[in-house]
Structure 1
Amino acid sequence: MSAVMTLPGNDPVENVVLAATTDGQAQLLTPAVLDLLADLHRRFESRRQARLAARRERQARFDAGELPDFRDDTRAIRDGDWQVAPLPDALRNRRVEITGPVEPKTVINALNSGANCFMADFEDSTSPTWANLVLGQRALRKAVAGTLDWMAPDGAKHYTLRPADEQAVLLVRPRGWHLDEKHVLVDDAPLAAGLFDVAVFAFHNAAALAARDRGPYLYLPKLESMEEAALWDDVLGHLEQVLGLPAGQIKVTVLIETLPAAFEMDEILHALRGRVAGLNCGRWDYIFSYIKTLRAHPDRVLPERGQVTMAQPFLRAYSDLLIQTCHRRGAHAMGGMAAQIPISGDAEANDAALAKVRADKLREVRAGHDGTWVAHPALIPVARRVFDERMPTSHQHHVGREDVCVGRADLLQAPVGTVTRAGFDNNVEVCVRYLAAWLDGNGCVPIHWLMEDAATAEIARAQLWQWLHHPAIARAAGRSGDAAGPLYLDDGEPIDFALLERALIGLPGKLADRMRLPGGSRINEAIGMLDRLCHAEELAEFLTIPAYRRLD
């Protein structure tokens, strides 16, 4: 499809098509913005596609038996004596960061929460319907201007922003390189979703943020190599030039949430050294990536999600290496997410959940992390108290972690554990309930007192596939006999498709009053999708790619 996009009263923008309409988009997607989007697409789309092809080629090698390793061709970068650019004042103290979707009420509550920083998330916690994306960009524009408010539907409560100097520092996470934005076509091809998110936000807000020494600041997700980081650096450098910003004005923090990226932390920092402020332990996506990357290796099967904690050696090695790498280069080493939410009506269970949060944050600050993430405002005081007691300075760059000596085997060490019936059934429930909510436009869903997002749903879905396909994976790897048989629950029942079928059939009956759940009307659709994904011969790269086809 090729057409000319016109907006009332404005000049046309050639070969740019907006494939949907929603309230407020004309004020947001002006001809100047569309020109910028077209320019970015034409400059960088071929490089994006080349990087995605490189991902596929590398995964094919892993599927053929190769294992990830540190690169020989970049040894000089790892061994070199260099530092990233100095941090801006606003990003020196990041001891507690809160994350959440970009809908107005959440943006207000997060900026008012008392956290040091708020990551407004267009990726894992936002379902990318066109209406959600436009609403989110409008909310952030108003937040930067200080005019964002939200009225409860019943008129009982009016939410407004605190004064700017009392707000959390805003960071924005765009979608990853692997995702398209199907609602914006340039020269008949979909725009990269991440380019849409960053360019629209920067166009409308960069000058105001720069004038206040507040960025723009970004979180970059799902990177797998230094070349992907270099592509972002070039994109952001071009944006700075177009928008009249000084070079390096746009600062970024990179989530190390893929297994390949764990072997290129130095290289990623180096590629972004003029603008990078730190790396983050994106633990949930990292676990998902471990499963996905090593899916063809039958000796690398993970136990159920609840047993894959940061105490597992492969995750502890990843965290320690990230801290050592960042502090050597003058960057922040940010800790991971506490996904717990307050448990109402059960003080004992709530106390136990908060104790887990305290223990997790104490582990992080003792290890040398410079800050941490929480999913709910009620966890901010818990996390802050731990970091205030153990980190009196604004960060811990002085903790060099010279004791750390992490090698390839440490990052790949398969954890020990089991799969229980409850763990199997929980994976099915979490994936179905999250997917149903996501299809219904909700990307951040409380389930069993945990805030689930796309990353945790991906773990659930990928684990189910890995467990169910273990016999075929083992045979392809040359195993025979018992080694090529099914995996078993800890009670002795084989993990097979009959077990999955019983779990899927029984799930609707377990969900009392399911029509009141987020996305309750799409539970059956989500069950069908999960069933197809689990039966597929190949593990789908991302759950959100086939699901995105069903979104408006």
Structure 2
Amino acid sequence: MERIRITDHAEGQDRVLTDDALAFLLELHDAFECSRQQLLQDRRKRRAALADGETPRFLEATAHVREDDSWRVAPPAPGLEDRRVEITGPIERKMTINALNSGAKVWLADCEDASSPLWRNVIASQVNLQDAIRDRISFTSPAGKEYRVTATETPTIVVRPRGWHLDEHRIVVDGKPMSGSLVDFGLHLFHNGRELIARGRGPYFYLPKLEDHREARLWDDVFVLAQDRLGIDRGTIRATVLIETITAAFEMEEILWQLREHSAGLNAGRWDYLFSMIKAFRLRGPDFVLPDRARLTMTAPFMRAYTEQLVRACHRRGAHAIGGMAAFVPSAKDPVATERALRAVAADKSREAGDGFDGSWVAHPGLVETCRAAFDAVLGDRPHQLDRSRDDVAVDAAALIDLSTTEGEITDAGLRSNIEIAIRYMEAWLRGHGAVAIHSLMEDAATAEISRSQVWQWIHNESVTSDGRTVTRERCEAIVAELAASFGEGEDDRFREAIELFRETALEEAYPAFLTLAGTERYLGDGARRPATGPVPVQVAADEPAEARTAA
């Protein structure tokens, strides 16, 4: 393809980037890249307005969509009728096999927050999807352990492509990078769409990071063109949208309406939603400053408002409502802590099932049975509870953004935890690992975003920890210095770059919208810096004036 240039190479690339597949990607690019760029520009304007004090609201222009009781989304697609347990994770070969053997109803095959966008991962994800769908996937570890799919019934595969904001720097069209969203979506659909249909399921997707209904409309336009181009019946593609931004929370029914013939429901993407709340209101003063990350549970009033209004919107329109992530990682080495955590997971999933959700997420196979039991207790033999309308839930704009009633403190331990988790995750992400177990929790890009964003917000709001000390850049740098000494200097580690990236995204005056975007531009994209060498630099900076505010 004369207009397309591939700037890197990875094993399996010839299977994935065939001439016909690249021609399909080019057609998607030509049809939708201008619209994508316009929507990204509109995002930046909206974020600036929020930072300047604008309050999110339900749209007057789309009131007719919300007020019309007659419309519904398409009925559940084959393999998506029963979604009571969904397991998530990167499309690494071993983890793919573990997910297929997990007993979950759905596997969210993640090209986004649980995947580091190294080129080898982008290509391997597509190779592994091809092999998994065709029942030919296996893996042998360096120690000689063999992994094979042994389950008689495997989960329905739902692929999460990267968000609209992320580019694929290794596929360049007319000198500019292609959309990571269209690359992940297009390659999966092109290679696997017909095969999935032939096997009685279909090409299904999770759509991340949407900020309004127009971004959903763009996806719907992509689906229509792609199906027509490949000779697939319209409505065969189905998509579940993650409601993980505060602006999308005000347009849930509009998002369902835009995707209605392709809709598979909405998901309460709790971690990215928390990240979005912090990002949107980071300069609004103490009433919008949240306590330690560990205190931010789904029982917080603003999170209850979000999840209950999501279930109401979905069931009113005949769409599945899928609950949030359980991130705990069970450990045989600490049975007491594991048992305590499993009880908490069971309570969380029981609350979701009781609220009307039709299923929920787990990050580890060891949580599948706990989640299933909670939903079995409510659903019984029914595949879902779409008949539960939740008309008792009020559509309440104020409740969605009232953070002032959130209980909990900011503690020194919480500050240290945020800094450590952010740096450890960034280091693993730079080495190619998108989902990382840290202190018995599965961390991904979303949880790292919360960690670094809270640090930024606490500094710029001069927040005070429970021991009476103000959170300053100097204090954070001192913690970074302590952690740097504990990290050591492994031959292959990337802690130096991770600390640089943490400083850029958490300690500087400017606030980058996404650490993954900043990290890709700095280390993984065109003109990326070479890996740094030498000891990790330690800085102890003087306090900087809090009056200087920069809105991303």
CA distance in 2, matches of 1:60, 1:222: 17
* C-alpha deviation, 1:154, in angstroms: 2.2
Corresponding residue for residue 127 of structure 1: 116
Alpha-carbon displacement from aligned partner over 1:439-460 (angstroms, at most 9, x marks no partner): 0111110000000000000000
The alpha-carbon deviation at position 417 of structure 1 amounts to: 2.4
Instruction: Give the aligned partner of residue 306 of structure 1.
Output: 294
Query: Hey, what does 2:459 align to over in structure 1?
Result: 468
1:94 aligns with one of 70, 73, 83: 83
Task: Quote the residue 1:283 is aligned against.
Answer: 270
Is the aligned partner of 1:506 residue 2:482?
Answer: yes
Measured after TM superposition, the shift of residue 537 of structure 1 is: 2.0
Residue 436 of structure 2 corresponds to 445
Contact residue 431 and residue 530 of structure 1 kept, 8 A: yes
Q: Tell me, yes or no, if the aligned pair for 1:103 and 1:139 is still in contact at 8 Å.
A: yes
Quote the offset at 1:22 in angstroms.
1.2
Q: Which SS does the other structure have where 2:345 is aligned?
A: helix
Task: Name the amino acid aligned to 1:291.
Answer: I
Deviation at 1:303? 1.0
* Structure 2 counterpart of 1:181: 168
Q: Which residue of 1 aligns with 2:95?
A: 106
Report the equivalent of 2:534: none
- Per the TM alignment, residue 508 of structure 1 is displaced from its structure 2 partner at its CA by 2.7
**Cα offsets for 1:187-214 (capped at 9, x unmatched):** 1111000100010011110001011231
1:279-313: CA deviations, max 9, x gaps?
A: 00000000000011112211311111111110100
Question: 1:551 aligned to 518, 524, 532, which one?
Answer: 524
Matched letter for residue 547 of structure 1: G
Q: Is the 8 A contact 1:508 1:514 kept in 2?
A: no
Q: 522-531 vs 424-433, which deviates more? A: 522-531
1:14 alignment partner, SS class: coil
Say which of 397, 421, 435 aligns to 2:386.
397
3-state secondary structure, aligned to 1:90: coil
2:447 maps to which residue?
Answer: 456
Deviation at 1:366, TM superposition (A): 0.6
Contact 1:434 1:453 in 2 (8 A): yes
Distance in 2 of aligned mates of 1:148 and 1:346: 32
Q: Check conservation: 2:65, 2:254, Cα contact below 8 A.
A: yes
Match of 2:468 in 1: 492
Partner of 1:197: 184
Distance in 2 separating the partners of 1:202 and 1:79: 35
C-alpha distance in 2, partners of 1:86/1:355? 34
Conserved in 2, the CA contact under 8 Å of 1:295 and 1:466? yes
1:71 aligns with 2:59: yes
1:295 paired residue number: 282
The residue correspondences of 1:205-216 to structure 2 (distance < 5 A) are 205-216=192-203
- Is the counterpart of residue 38 in structure 1 residue 26 in structure 2? yes
Residue pair 1:229, 1:272 contacting (<8 A) in 2 also: yes
214, 223, 227: which one pairs with 1:240? 227
Deviation at 1:344, TM superposition (A): 2.8
The match for 2:504 is 532
| Matching residue within 360, 363, 374 for 2:362 | 374
- Where 1:242 maps in the other structure, the secondary structure is helix
**1:476 aligned partner:** none
- 8 Å contact 1:62–1:296 — kept in the other structure? no
Q: CA contact under 8 A between 2:78 and 2:202: conserved in structure 1?
A: no
The Cα of 1:354 is off from its aligned counterpart by: 0.5
Q: What is the one-letter code of the residue matched to 1:351? A: E
Please tell me the residue identity of whatever aligns with 1:418.
Answer: E
**Residue 61 (structure 1) shift:** 1.3
Counterpart CA distance in 2 for 1:355 and 1:430 is 24
Q: Secondary structure at the match of 1:100?
A: strand
TM superposition shift of 1:514: 7.0
For 1:85 and 1:374, locate their aligned partners in 2 and report how far apart those are by CA, in whole Å: 26
Q: Does 1:421 align with 2:407?
A: no
Supply the distance in 1 between the matched residues of 2:302 and 2:116 (Cα, whole angstroms).
Answer: 31
Q: Secondary structure at the match of 1:363?
A: helix
Moved segments of 4+, more than 4 Å: none
Matched with 1:522 is 494
- 5+ residue gaps in structure 2? 526-552
| 8 Å CA contact 1:304, 1:423 repeated in 2 | yes
Query: Which stretch has the larger CA shift, 532-541 or 320-329?
Result: 532-541
- Percent identity between the aligned chains? 46
Aligned pair partner of 1:150 in 123, 139, 142: 139
Q: CA RMSD in A?
A: 1.3
